Structure 1
Amino acid sequence: MFLNQLLEEYKETDDEKEKLQLFKEFTDRLWKSKYSFKKYKKYHTFNVSETALLHRQELIELFNKYNEIEYTVCKSFYNKRLDSIDYIRVHLNNTYGYLVDKDVYFNKEYYRLLITPKREYFKVIKALSNGEVVDCEEVEKNIVSALSEAEIVKMKSINKKISLTFSAYKKLINSYLERIFNNYKPVHEYEQEHGWEMRIVVDGWSEDNYIIKYFCRSLTGYMRDYARDQRGFKKKDKIISCEKCGSLIKKNRNVHKYCSPCAKRINILKTIENRKRNKCLK
């Protein structure tokens, strides 16, 4: 049964038992989809050529140490065409990864920094081939600094996530799906109310495409609101990231840069430094 048929039947029937059965049919298929939430390891790798490094042992040892950088990703792209309900499941997986899971979906700067050893390697090879002087300590300093910065970016990203088990997430999503079912308007009804005209420009387009978009947008909005509420914010609040730890905070004034715990630690450190400075001046 296509999604549009299922939703049409749900909308047209006044039998609550039938509504419940149709809704259960949908959620069962959704959560039993083979496109479940999956994480796997990826690597930034490169082969270390002793010849290209002019057999400089310190450079060989350095790059052998960093020639395989591991990171975790969430399976989110599929080459083959999916069933309509599977597209919704993949969207739910991505939403969970982005808002909740602490292993994936970090700031893009994190992933850029992880490539530093590989970039430095090819940069060194080019420099050596051009007869330039290469300082191994400087190269190592660049790599260590970048990977340390990557960990900071990672922790800032994690601090923005909310706490929610996947089982609790499923229960929450089911409550939103029920609202989505009840609020659903078929294409023709939506056109009549809003004057919107469908312009089909892709072969194979069906009403299910409209439904997938409706589901995904609605679920994104519901989860965005849920995450905001869990963080203790209101809809009108202006949200910024703490410059120190990355936690999301409400901006109260122009000079507001840090969350309360970080601001407290920074003030303590400043006080200690000022006392030391004043003591030295005496």
Structure 2
Amino acid sequence: MEHIIRWKEAAIITRYLYEIIEDYQNAASVSEQNEIFASFCQMLWASENKRRTYYKNIRFSVRKDLRNTAPGQMFGRWNQITYKGYQSKTKETDWCSLIRQKVNNLYSRYFDKEIILEQAYLHLLATPKRLYYQWISGIEKDPGQCEEDIRAAMEQAEQLYTVCRQAKMELSWNDYKKLTETFLRRIFDNCRSIEHFESETSFATMYDFIEEDHFYIRYFCKSLSGYMSNYRKAYYGIKRGRNKTYVTCRLCGRLMEKTNNRILYCSQCRVIRNREKTRESMRRIRNV
């Protein structure tokens, strides 16, 4: 019991993950392991590296000499498009901040329905800026047609935003913390020491110059990604198997089983993509 108390006091100030792993592996009983793991989780959730979201802007400034022209006035109405992002990196280097950053990122990416960062969505939001720079580079642009194209892109972006929101998994932050703790407990139970790893591989000298914490932090983060991948497959009702391959929809990011080499979009996004192709075809016909 005294050993547990001493460890809990030391755990508050220690910055070395390998010490916690060693204590867990050398624990004399399951109850002692439970104490160690509970203290680890307490430190992780108390980390100052909280999940942070913020608003970002796709913006541009219309040149002063062009602001009174018809195209300049039109582009001026679309010179700032806002979307929501999140802090994906940390300047801190301690294990607690780095693992917490990984945990934060997984939630923002897969569960936060306000954060949509698929490339297709951002490409649509950047349409006004892209058309503006094409115009000032010397490409002739009809203001009416440009505004029509911009409004069509914003409409597509809104549709894609809705689809991407629906594609994200449903889980509150508190429930996500509980889920993450089940992942972390498996990681603790399956984690092997560097010495054990070296004894089973031919890379005995590979880790001589690598800090032990770096090895374990990388293992924790990679394992969290793996467990989340399995959770996503179960959530979407996709069967797991060694011979199965998976892809994400190019528009909304929904996970799908790859049944052939031509599959690019989920059923919902395929409809949006077909509408977009039809619109492009009609635009080319009008411009002929």
What TM-score bracket applies, with the shorter chain setting the length? 0.7 to 0.9
| Unmatched tracts of structure 2, length 5 or more | 1-13, 275-288
Aligned to 1:38: 52
Which of residues 2, 7, 12 in structure 1 aligns to 2:26? Answer: 12
Q: Confirm or deny that 1:118 pairs with 2:90.
A: no
Q: CA deviation at 1:105?
A: 4.5
Which of residues 71, 92, 109 in structure 1 aligns to 2:120? Answer: 109
Relative distance call for 1:198 and 1:255 in structure 2 (3 A) is closer
SS in 2 for 1:43: strand
Aligned to 1:272: none
Q: CA deviation at 1:170?
A: 0.4
Structure ID, larger Rg: 1
SS in 2 for 1:51: helix
Aligned to 1:270: none
Distance 1:136 1:247 in 2: 36
Which of residues 68, 75, 81 in structure 1 aligns to 2:80? Answer: 68
Aligned to 2:3: none
Aligned to 1:219: 224
Relative distance call for 1:148 and 1:201 in structure 2 (3 A) is farther
| Unmatched tracts of structure 1, length 5 or more | 267-282
Which of residues 213, 228, 248 in structure 1 aligns to 2:233? Answer: 228
The residue type paired with residue 209 of structure 1 is: H
Q: CA deviation at 1:150?
A: 2.4
Aligned to 1:274: none
> Higher mean Cα deviation, 28-37 or 113-122?
113-122
Q: Confirm or deny that 1:185 pairs with 2:197.
A: no
Q: Confirm or deny that 1:173 pairs with 2:180.
A: yes
Relative distance call for 1:151 and 1:171 in structure 2 (3 A) is same
Relative distance call for 1:151 and 1:25 in structure 2 (3 A) is same
1:249-264 matches, cutoff 5 A: 259=267
Which of residues 147, 153, 158 in structure 2 aligns to 1:146? Answer: 153
Q: What TM-score results when the alignment is normalised by the length of structure 2? A: 0.77
Work out the percentage of aligned pairs sharing the same amino acid: 30
Number of residue-to-residue matches in the alignment = 254
Q: CA deviation at 1:165?
A: 0.9
The residue type paired with residue 127 of structure 2 is: T
Distance 1:215 1:187 in 2: 13
